[in-house]
Each structure stands twice: as C-alpha cells, then as structure tokens.
C-alpha cells in the first residue's frame, strides 16, 4: 500500500497543480468582473444624482437609470458566480476528493478510475479529474459492494462492475489516511470522523454517507418520504445532503428558495447553517412552527411548543383530552365540513369603516355573499365578494376624486407633494390639463382610501377568530371559553392555530403557497396530525420529507413506523409514500447508545456504532447539597476535557434554578427560546431547546424516581441522554428512576455517596 499511497499522493499533487492554475484564472476573471461592476455602479450613481426635478430630464434619465440598474444587477450576478467558483476551487485545493472507484463498463476494454469529491473538476480537455458526489456514477461509491452494480442516470438504469473502492482523508493537500474497502463506505474513515469533538456547527457527511442514508438522499420519486430513525442516526444530516442533492439534480428548475425546512428551534437553525454552504449550495428557507404561525396570526401571541410543553405539567386530564382532540385528523375534517356548509348568515363578517364611518356594513357584505350562485364553493364566493367590494371601493374613489374637497386639496398642494403624486408620470404624459387634474385627483383619493384597500385585500371584512370560536362552541363547547379568554389577552394556544388557520384559508380561499417544491419537517414527532394537514394544505405543490423518531416524542407515546406511514399517507393523500428506517446510531459512543437503548422497550432495534468510550455514570446522592457538589465536580471535569458541555433539564424553571446556583462558581450560560447561538462554556438548557443538537458531554441533573416517575417521561430522558457524543453523567438525588433501575447494571457505572452523618 505504501507505493500505492505514493502514487495516490502524486495524483493529488497533479490535481492540485491544475486547481491552482484554474484558481489563478478564476481570480483574474473575478477581479475583472468586480472592476466592471464597480465602474457601472459608479456610473449608475452619478446618473441617479442628476437633477430629476426638471421634468424634461426626468423621462430620459429614468430610462437610462433603468438600463444601468439592469447592467449592475447582471454584473453582480456574474461576479457572484465567479466568487462561488473561487470558493469551490479553494476548498478543492485543500481536499480535492475523498473517494475513488474503479469500474469496468461492459462496453469498455479497460477499467477506469474515478475520483469523487464535494464538487466536480475537469481539465481543459474536459476530462473529469473529480466527480461531484451527486453525479449519477457517484452513487456506486455509496451504494454498492464490489462486483456487478447498477446506478440511475437521466438516461435510465446503467450497469457496471465495481472493481475497487478506496477512501481518502486529505487535508491541506496531503493524504492523511487511505483505505481500500469492500463495504459501502468502510468503518475506518467513519470512525475517525466520529471521534472528533463537536463544535458550534454541524458538518457535512458526504465523505462517509452510509447506504441507507444514501437511499434517502437520492430519492426523487416519492411525494411523501417518511424517515424514522433512532436518535443520532443521521436524519438531519440526510435532510441537508438531500437538499444539496435535489438542488444538483434539478439545477434548472429548482432553487434554494423553493425549499422550506421546518426546524425545531432557533439554536438548531444556526447549528445546521453551515452544511449547505460547505457543499457550495445556498441555504434553504428555515422556519420554526412558532415563527410560521406567528406570521400568519399577526397581532396574537402564539403559544410556542416550549410553553406548550411546560404547561403540560399543570393541565388537568380533561384539559389534556380537549387538546388531544384538536390535534387529530378528525378535528380538521370537522373544520372542512363546517367551512363547506357555512351559509351567508353563519359567516362572521365585520363592518369596514374609515374614520368611524361605515363604508361597507356587515349586512351589505352578507347580502353580497348570499347573492352568489349556490353552486359556487365557499372560497369562490368569498373571492367574488372581495372583488365586488374592491369594485365598489374603486367607484367610491372615483366619485371622491371629483369632489370639491379633493379639488381644493389639489389647489393647496406644494410642488413636492405634486411630484410625489405624479409618481412615474410626467407632465407630458397627459393630453390636457383636465386629464392631469383627473389623474392627480384620483391618486389623492386613492391614497386616502389606501387603508380600506389593504383591509379588503387582507380579508379584514371576515372575522376568522370569531368564526373559529363559533365552531368550537358547536364542536367542543368545553374549550370555547378558554379560547375566547386567551383571545381577549391577544393570545392563542398552539392547539388552536392549525384548525383556525385552516378554517380561515378554506373560507377565504387564501393562505396557499404554490411556489414551494419541497417541504422538509425535522423532528416530525413533535407535530400533530392537524398541523401536518395544515402544512400540506398550505404547501400543496410540495413534495414532503418528514423525519423523526417517535421515541423522542416528549409527551406522546411512540408509534410504530409502518402504522405511522399508513396513517400519514392516508391523511395527507400521498400517492407515492415511502418509508425509510435508520437504525444505526452514529452520534454517541457504543456505551452511551447501549445504555440509551436499554431504556426503551423495543430498543434492541438500535444498532450502536462501535466507537468506544466510558460507560455512562449514574451518581446517586442523598441531599441537595451533595447533588450540587456532584454537579459542580462533573461539570468542571467535563469542561476541562471537552469543547461543548451541556446540563440538560426537563423544564426551563429547573434550568433557571440551576443557573442561579451554579453561576458564581462555573462559566455557565442559561439558554432561552430566543437564543440563536451556543455561547462558549457550559450550556444549561431544557431538553426542548436541545432538540436536534449534540454535545461532547451531557449532564442530566436529577434522574430520581421523583422526577422521572412515569413511562410518559421515558421520551424526555431518552432524548436528553441521546444528545451526548462522548460522555454522559446522570445525577440522582435519592433513588434512581425505574427507567434506569430496570437497565442491566453492567451498562453503567454507579457512584453512590453516603449521607454525611
Ligand atoms: N454517515 C455519517 N458520517 C459521518 N457522521 C455521521 C453520519 N451520519 C450521522 N453522522 C453524525 O452523527 C451525528 C448525528 O447526526 P444527526 O444529527 O443528523 O442525527 P439525527 O438522526 O438527526 O439525530 P436526532 O434525531 O437524535 O437529533 C452528527 O454528528 C452527524 O454528523
């Protein structure tokens, strides 16, 4: 292998020489483009400064400015492309590729060696020196074992013989490691990647994608792809590489703006923000469910998932049941049925007034609705009413424009106001003084009625909040009072958001976003069916990828994947639904994974990746003081060893309390819902904020019987433990929870401190 390694290093060196040449050329082109942009920009600014108050100059200047503006935009775009090329080449220079496959095509006489990297590179004769990891042939690297293999291409399925597969770890142009493997992607490289410590940002995994992950990444057929994967199995990683793959696969028709990812919290959004740029792609849009609902329910304080969790502890059984009902598909079906059968007299219309004077009364709006043909759908009727109202408003504005009041205002106008009213027009745009006068009068009247136009466009003549309240009174009367009370305080419970918005959209035929081609939902076990139905309704044209782990549901029982798929596919009306399971966990050491899996009734499905470490430590103490002492000791020790250490609690209140107790002695940081980045030092946070994240060392505060008494809390403890990569410490004040007691004592180390007499 030594001489093989020399040969491979020689090839790396040659490729780097080529990259350097291309870099030089690209730099030149970039600098040229940059100089051009600057000069056009300067020109544009100078032109824009021309005295535009001289009406004669205006038209000409306008046209010229428009032209310049377009030129600037085009140059900026070219400059941006060249900049991206430069970045790609710079990355390739450090590590041009990570894999090699030797293949024998049936119609070729000799085998061919192909090298695979994060981006493609060809020489001046168009020979591929490096293949992009997303190219059709690269799938062979991830998918096949040696021998006869198949791969998909735009022209159909192809066959080839895979003779050799080699993995490289190249840093700064030097091969650090290389392995030949017959495995899909062998364990050695993966082992060395997983041994690394975590940092603020997630990394791309393209060099070590596993076969089952590759199937998820390259699935282009399903309209609903459901991924159920155990904690740390690479679901989030798979989503991000899948997005990079889809962007490559459909380069001509898809851009990053057409992809939306629903992420669990703001910390997570930042944590994953580097992966796509590291693959030369733009980030997709990211939103949390809370942000999404808040934007659609402006003026209301939407309950967050976190508040929802925290409140669970205080709810009565009856209240919990009401909430549960609102989460179901049946509840959404009831909303649909209700919306379909609403008559004009049932609808909650409101008056539209200006300065206290009613312009359109609810009675008038109701009559307009009642006058629509019966066979029309509610949405069409609503749209027709809206159009008629806008027409009526146009007439009103026309009348107003000719009123003496407006004419008087025109007389008294300053020349500045006059120019603003003219807008894009010039004096010469009009044939007569009267025409100009009419135009200006119309402009002025329109301005005065702008709020009414806004109100009509935004459907403010319909009160969706009241309508939903009426629906509740009918369907779930016990919850109507609570809903109305919250509304009085401008608040809305999470469970009410999806049904209310669904009702609003159905009545008003609004709220849809057809532009989005792919919708990704991470941590889907935290979404109710009602929410999924609403998201599917909004993003009707999107292909769905849902990823989750029902064992990590914080307050719900786990559901079997196949049943979940059938349920969701049927509810969302999916035609090509596909279920993928990921059972191997990569995040944690074998010892931590074995401990976690023993917590679950069906944990035997989880396969640990064979990365060794210490067994989790359960530290049992008997007093408050001793607990705090143990906590301080272990936090200190972890912080000295690792870069990311987290103390994860069940609730925010517990996090706050610990923060107050520890902050004098330790560099601790309390994280809240608003935090977008992980600060240096030890993080203290409740589990719902740690969703999707990982830390070198995790400490759990109190795993006593009193704190984790029921199996309902299994999901919480499991999720907390599964955030640990290298070290897990659990402190228990008093007897440990039965969730741990039932675990084979061989799987952890028990440290007991005796009470001080
Ligand atoms: N093929 C792989 N190669 C290298 N690292 C991997 C691979 N798959 C997963 N990992 C690593 O394992 C860790 C867990 O991955 P990820 O966060 O994507 O899992 P997850 O299933 O979304 O986890 P969870 O549901 O517990 O939040 C990450 O550090 C990720 O980089």
For residue 571, what pLDDT is reported?
85
Q: Does ligand 1 lie within 6 Å of residue 210's CB atom? A: yes
How far is residue 711's CA from residue 599's CA, in Å, rounded to a whole number? Answer: 10
How far does CA 234 lie from the centroid of its chain? 16
- Cβ atoms within 10 Å, residue 576: 12
Q: Ligand 1 mean position to 609 CA, how many Å?
A: 11
Q: Does ligand 1 lie within 6 Å of residue 586's CB atom? A: yes
Q: Show contacts of 112-115: CB within 8 Å, 24+ apart.
A: 113/164, 115/11, 115/15
On whether the 230-330+491-544+556-585 domain is CATH 3.40.50, my answer is yes
- Cβ atoms within 10 Å, residue 449: 18
- Whole-complex ipTM: 0.99
Kindly tell me the sign of the dihedral angle through the C-alpha atoms of 97, 101, 106, 111: positive
Q: Does ligand 1 lie within 6 Å of residue 493's CB atom? A: no
How far does CA 312 lie from the centroid of its chain? 25
How far is residue 559's CA from residue 552's CA, in Å, rounded to a whole number? Answer: 11
What one-character-per-residue DSSP string does 683-698 give?
Answer: EEEEHHHHTT--EEEE
Residue whose CA lies nearest to ligand 1 atom number 23: 232
User: Strand 352-354 vs strand 357-360: parallel, antiparallel, or unpaired?
Assistant: antiparallel
How far is residue 260's CA from residue 122's CA, in Å, rounded to a whole number? Answer: 33
Planar angle of CA 618, 619, 622, nearest 5 degrees: 135
233 annotated ligand-binding residue: yes
Q: Ligand 1 mean position to 236 CA, how many Å?
A: 7
- From 236, 581, 692, 725, give the residue whose CB has the most ligand 1 atoms within 8 Å, as the site to mutate: 236
For residue 102, what pLDDT is reported?
95
Ranges of the chain whose pLDDT falls below 70: 1-2, 44-66, 144, 182-186, 197-198, 554-559, 754-757
For residue 594, what pLDDT is reported?
96
Q: Does ligand 1 lie within 6 Å of residue 235's CB atom? A: yes
Q: Does ligand 1 lie within 6 Å of residue 715's CB atom? A: no
> Element (H or E) spanning 619, and its range?
strand 617-621
How far is residue 500's CA from residue 511's CA, in Å, rounded to a whole number? Answer: 12
Q: Does ligand 1 lie within 6 Å of residue 254's CB atom? A: no
> Element (H or E) spanning 481, and its range?
helix 477-488
Structure tokens at 677: 């980045």
Q: Ligand 1 mean position to 203 CA, how many Å?
A: 9
Q: Does ligand 1 lie within 6 Å of residue 205's CB atom? A: yes
Residue 460 DSSP label: T
Closest CA relative to residue 690, chosen from 655, 664, 666: 655
Side-chain half-sphere exposure of 535, counting CA atoms within 13 A: 28
Q: Does ligand 1 lie within 6 Å of residue 581's CB atom? A: no
How far is residue 469's CA from residue 480's CA, in Å, rounded to a whole number? Answer: 6
- From 167, 210, 232, give the residue whose CB has the most ligand 1 atoms within 8 Å, as the site to mutate: 232
Q: Does ligand 1 lie within 6 Å of residue 323's CB atom? A: no
For residue 757, what pLDDT is reported?
46
Q: Ligand 1 mean position to 230 CA, how many Å?
A: 10
SS3 content of the chain, % helix, strand, coil (to 5): 50, 20, 30
Secondary structure class of 147 (helix, strand, coil): strand
How far is residue 137's CA from residue 161's CA, in Å, rounded to a whole number? Answer: 12
Q: Does ligand 1 lie within 6 Å of residue 236's CB atom? A: yes
Residue position matching structure tokens 């005295």: 51
How far is residue 409's CA from residue 417's CA, in Å, rounded to a whole number? Answer: 11
Q: Show contacts of 360-365: CB within 8 Å, 24+ apart.
A: 360/389, 360/392, 360/461, 362/461, 365/389, 365/461
Q: Ligand 1 mean position to 283 CA, how many Å?
A: 19
Domain ranges of the chain: 4-51+58-94, 99-184, 230-330+491-544+556-585, 352-462, 590-600+607-752
The answer for residues whose C-beta is within 8 angstroms of residue 103's C-beta and 6 or more apart is: 111, 112, 114, 137, 140, 160, 161, 162, 163
Cβ atoms of 226 and 564 within 8 Å: the answer is yes
Atom of ligand 1 nearest to the CA of 692: 27
Q: Does ligand 1 lie within 6 Å of residue 263's CB atom? A: no
The answer to whether 230-330+491-544+556-585 and 590-600+607-752 have equal CATH topology is yes
How far is residue 328's CA from residue 476's CA, in Å, rounded to a whole number? Answer: 13
Exposure b/e, 84-115, CB count within 10 A at least 16 = b: bbbebbebbbebbbbbbbebeeeeeeeeeebb
Residue 661, CA distances (Å) to 51, 317, 649, 756 in order: 66, 34, 14, 21
- What pTM was estimated for this model as a whole? 0.88
Q: Show contacts of 40-43: CB within 8 Å, 24+ apart.
A: 40/68, 40/71, 40/72, 40/75, 41/72, 43/68
> Element (H or E) spanning 647, and its range?
strand 645-649
Helical packing angle, 378-401 and 404-411, nearest 10°? 60
Burial label, 424 (beta-carbon count in 10 A; 0-12, 13-18, 19+): exposed
On whether the 590-600+607-752 domain is CATH 3.20.20.140, my answer is no
Taking the chain, what is the end-to-end CA distance rounded to the nearest angstrom? 65
Cβ atoms of 279 and 270 within 8 Å: the answer is no
Q: Ligand 1 mean position to 232 CA, how many Å?
A: 5
Q: Does ligand 1 lie within 6 Å of residue 117's CB atom? A: no
Side-chain half-sphere exposure of 747, counting CA atoms within 13 A: 16
- From 188, 200, 586, 589, give the residue whose CB has the most ligand 1 atoms within 8 Å, as the site to mutate: 586
Q: Does ligand 1 lie within 6 Å of residue 237's CB atom? A: yes
Q: Does ligand 1 lie within 6 Å of residue 229's CB atom? A: yes
Residue whose CA lies nearest to ligand 1 atom number 29: 587
Cβ atoms of 209 and 241 within 8 Å: the answer is yes
- From 169, 187, 201, 205, give the residue whose CB has the most ligand 1 atoms within 8 Å, as the site to mutate: 205
Cβ atoms of 695 and 724 within 8 Å: the answer is yes
Q: Does ligand 1 lie within 6 Å of residue 692's CB atom? A: yes
Closest CA relative to residue 695, chosen from 574, 620, 594, 592: 592
Closest CA relative to residue 714, chosen from 523, 526, 556, 581: 556
229 annotated ligand-binding residue: yes
């Amino acid at each position: 292998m030594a001489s093989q390694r020399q040969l491979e290093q020689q090839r790396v060196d040659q490729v780097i020489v080529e990259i350097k040449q291309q870099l030089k050329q690209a730099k030149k082109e970039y600098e040229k483009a940059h100089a051009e942009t600057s000069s056009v920009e300067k020109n544009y600014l100078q032109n824009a400064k021309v005295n535009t108050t001289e009406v004669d100059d205006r038209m000409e200047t306008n046209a010229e400015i428009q032209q310049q503006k377009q030129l600037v935009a085009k140059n900026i775009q070219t400059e941006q492309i060249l900049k991206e090329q430069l970045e790609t080449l710079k990355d390739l220079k450090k590590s041009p590729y990570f894999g090699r496959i030797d293949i024998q095509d049936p119609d070729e006489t000799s085998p061919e060696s192909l090298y695979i990297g994060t981006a493609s590179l060809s020489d001046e004769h168009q020979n591929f020196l490096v293949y992009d990891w997303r190219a059709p042939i690269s799938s062979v690297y991830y998918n096949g074992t040696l021998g006869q293999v198949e791969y998909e291409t735009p022209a159909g399925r192809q066959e080839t013989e895979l003779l050799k597969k080699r993995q490289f770890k190249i840093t700064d142009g030097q091969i650090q490691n290389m392995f030949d493997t017959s495995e899909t992607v062998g364990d050695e490289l993966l082992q060395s990647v997983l041994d690394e410590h975590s940092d603020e940002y997630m990394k791309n995994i393209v060099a070590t994608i596993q076969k089952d992950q590759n199937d998820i990444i390259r699935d282009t057929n399903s309209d609903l792809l459901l991924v159920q994967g155990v904690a740390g199995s690479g679901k989030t990683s798979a989503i991000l590489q899948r997005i990079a793959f889809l962007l490559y696969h459909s380069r001509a028709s898809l851009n990053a703006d057409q992809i939306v990812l629903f992420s669990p919290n703001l910390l997570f959004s930042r944590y994953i923000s580097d992966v796509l740029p590291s693959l030369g792609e733009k980030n997709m849009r990211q939103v949390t469910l809370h942000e999404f609902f808040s934007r659609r329910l402006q003026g209301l304080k939407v309950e967050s998932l976190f508040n929802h969790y925290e409140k669970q502890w205080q709810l009565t059984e009856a209240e919990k049941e009401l909430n549960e009902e609102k989460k179901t598909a049946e509840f959404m079906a009831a909303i649909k049925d209700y919306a379909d059968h609403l008559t004009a007299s049932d609808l909650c219309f409101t008056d539209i007034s200006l300065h206290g004077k009613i312009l359109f009364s609810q009675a008038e709006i109701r009559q307009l609705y009642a006058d629509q043909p019966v066979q029309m759908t509610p949405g069409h009727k609503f749209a027709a009413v809206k159009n008629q109202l806008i027409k009526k408003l146009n007439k009103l504005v026309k009348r107003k424009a000719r009123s003496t009041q407006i004419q008087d205002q025109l007389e008294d106008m300053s020349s500045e106001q006059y120019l603003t009213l003219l807008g894009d027009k010039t004096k010469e745009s009009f044939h007569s003084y009267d025409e100009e006068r009419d135009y200006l009068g119309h402009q002025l009247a329109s301005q005065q009625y702008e709020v009414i136009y806004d109100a009509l466009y935004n459907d403010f003549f319909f009160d969706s909040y009241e309508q939903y309240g009426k629906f509740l009174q009918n369907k779930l009367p016990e919850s109507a009072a609570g809903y109305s009370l919250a509304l009085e305080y401008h608040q809305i419970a999470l469970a009410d958001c999806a049904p209310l918005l669904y009702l609003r959209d159905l009545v008003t035929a609004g709220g849809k976003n057809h532009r989005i081609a792919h919708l990704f939902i991470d941590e889907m076990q935290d979404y109710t069916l009602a929410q999924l139905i609403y998201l599917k309704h909004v993003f009707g044209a999107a292909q769905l990828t849902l990823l989750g782990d029902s064992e990590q549901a914080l307050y719900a029982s786990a559901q079997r994947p196949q049943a979940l798929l059938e349920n969701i596919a049927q509810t969302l009306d999916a035609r090509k639904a596909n279920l993928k399971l990921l059972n191997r966990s990569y995040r944690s050491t074998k010892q931590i994974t074995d401990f976690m899996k023993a917590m679950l009734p069906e944990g035997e499905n989880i396969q640990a990746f064979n990365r060794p470490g210490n067994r989790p430590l359960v530290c049992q103490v008997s007093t408050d003081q001793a607990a705090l002492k143990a906590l301080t000791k272990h936090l200190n020790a972890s912080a000295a060893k690792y870069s990311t250490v987290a103390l994860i609690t069940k609730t925010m209140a517990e996090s706050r309390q610990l923060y107050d107790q520890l902050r004098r002695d330790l560099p601790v940081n309390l994280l809240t819902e608003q935090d977008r980045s992980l600060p240096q030092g030890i993080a203290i946070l409740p589990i719902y904020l740690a969703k999707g994240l990982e830390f070198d060392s995790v400490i759990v505060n109190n795993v006593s019987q009193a704190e984790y008494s029921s199996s309902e809390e299994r999901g919480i403890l499991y999720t907390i433990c599964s955030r640990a990569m290298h070290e897990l410490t659990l402190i228990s004040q008093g007897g440990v929870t039965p969730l741990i007691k039932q675990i084979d004592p061989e799987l952890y180390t028990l440290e007991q401190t005796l009470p001080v007499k």
